[in-house]
């Protein structure tokens, strides 16, 4: 093959290779964002926009047909998952037959009653939430949701030290805020047939009497606040004497 022919053949191969590489580098067209009839970003049945502060979501409209609408706590838009801050207006709610709207606690704005009636709609909110303040401010009809949050456990305490003197034992514990302390002790580590003693909230020690000689005992403590008890503390040993 002549040198000139070889040169053109090599040039053709290089051009074809570069064309393939360029084709691979072209990104796929990103999926278009769905929009509703109002021109808003459609997420489920809701038309949403980014709040002007860019840290929250405004729910602009509704395109479903449920009687009871539960607005999610958060939406994802432009790759960011953000809390709902406002339900901007009565667009699609009343005309689509909605009777109840459950608001996230984070909502601090609910339309404007001068322009948005929410006719025949009752809002559901948690007592003490920003959403409650928002519907009260505009004078909308509302009811409270049941508080489904888990009750906080009663704070317990721990036994600091046990001292054995013959048939007596002194137990001391860490003071915490409560209504009373309950101590139980037994010759069995599993607390079978344990005896119980109650102490006032200001106490931090107890003397246990009439312990049997040369017998090891086990002791635990817990607190009580109202009608609820804390968990029992770790078992401590009262040594033999």
Q: Cα(148)–Cα(93) distance, rounded to whole angstroms?
A: 26
Q: Cα(84)–Cα(122) distance, rounded to whole angstroms?
A: 19
199 Cβ contact partners less than 8 Å away, ≥ 6 residues apart = 180, 181, 182, 183, 206
- Phi and psi torsions of 128, nearest 5°: 85, 0
Domain count, the chain: 2
Domain boundary among 144, 171, 201: 144
Pairing of strands 41-43, 80-87: unpaired
Please give the structure tokens belonging to residue 45: 């049945």
Q: Is the domain of 182 the same as that of 231?
A: yes
Q: How many CB atoms lie within 10 A of CB 35?
A: 11
Q: Tell me the pTM.
A: 0.52
232 Cβ contact partners less than 8 Å away, ≥ 6 residues apart = 156, 184, 220, 221, 222
Whether residue 169 lies inside any domain: the answer is yes
Q: Is the domain of 85 the same as that of 127?
A: yes
> CATH number for the domain including 200?
2.60.40.10
Q: Cα(133)–Cα(107) distance, rounded to whole angstroms?
A: 9
State residue 54's pLDDT score.
80
Pairing of strands 74-77, 80-87: antiparallel
Domain boundary among 110, 144, 178: 144
State residue 21's pLDDT score.
39
Is there a contact between 184 and 217 (Cβ–Cβ < 8 Å)?
A: no
Q: How many CB atoms lie within 10 A of CB 222?
A: 18
Q: Could you write out the three-class secondary structure of the chain?
A: CCHHHHHHHHHHHHHHHHHHHHHHHCCCCCCCCCECCCCCEEECCEEEEECCCCCCEEEEEECCCCCEEECCCEEEECCEEEEEEEECCCCCCCCCCCCEEECCCCCCEECCCCCCCCCCCEEEECCCCHHHHHHHHHCCCEEECCCCCCCCCCCCCCEEEEEEECCEEEEEECCCCCCEEEEEEECCCCCCCCEEEEEECCCCEEEECCCCCCCCEEEEEEEEECCEECCCCCCEEECCC
Q: Cα(6)–Cα(12) distance, rounded to whole angstroms?
A: 10
> CATH number for the domain including 122?
3.80.10.10
Q: Is the domain of 80 the same as that of 117?
A: yes
Domain that holds residue 219: 159-238
Per-residue pLDDT of the chain (241 residues; tens, 9 = 90+): 444 555 555 555 454 444 443 444 334 334 457 999 989 999 999 999 998 888 899 999 999 999 999 999 999 998 999 999 999 888 999 999 999 999 999 999 998 777 777 889 999 999 989 999 999 999 999 999 987 666 678 999 999 999 999 999 999 999 999 999 999 999 999 999 999 999 999 999 999 999 999 999 999 999 999 889 999 999 999 998 8
State residue 53's pLDDT score.
82
């Amino acid at each position: 093959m002549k040198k000139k022919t070889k040169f053109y053949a090599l040039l053709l191969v290089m051009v074809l290779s570069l064309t393939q590489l360029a084709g691979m580098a072209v990104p796929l067209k990103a999926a278009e964002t769905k929009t509703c009839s109002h021109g808003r970003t459609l997420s489920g049945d809701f038309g949403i926009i980014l709040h002007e502060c860019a840290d929250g979501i405004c729910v602009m409209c509704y395109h479903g047909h449920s009687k009871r609408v539960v607005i999610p706590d958060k939406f994802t838009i432009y790759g960011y998952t953000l809390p709902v801050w406002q339900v901007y207006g009565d667009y699609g709610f009343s005309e689509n037959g909605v009777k109840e709207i459950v608001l996230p606690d984070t909502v601090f704005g609910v339309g404007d009653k001068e322009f948005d009636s929410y006719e025949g709609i009752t809002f559901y909110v948690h007592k003490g939430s920003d959403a409650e303040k928002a519907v009260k401010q505009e004078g909308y009809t509302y009811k409270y949701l049941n508080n489904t949050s888990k009750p906080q456990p009663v704070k317990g305490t721990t036994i600091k030290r046990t001292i054995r003197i013959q048939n007596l034992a002194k137990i001391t514990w860490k003071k915490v805020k409560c209504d009373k302390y309950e101590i139980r002790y037994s010759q069995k580590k599993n607390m079978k047939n344990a005896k119980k003693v109650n102490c006032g909230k200001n106490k931090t020690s107890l003397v246990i009497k009439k312990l049997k000689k040369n017998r090891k005992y086990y002791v635990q403590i817990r607190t009580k606040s109202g009608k609820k008890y804390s968990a029992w503390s770790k078992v401590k040993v009262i040594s033999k004497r």
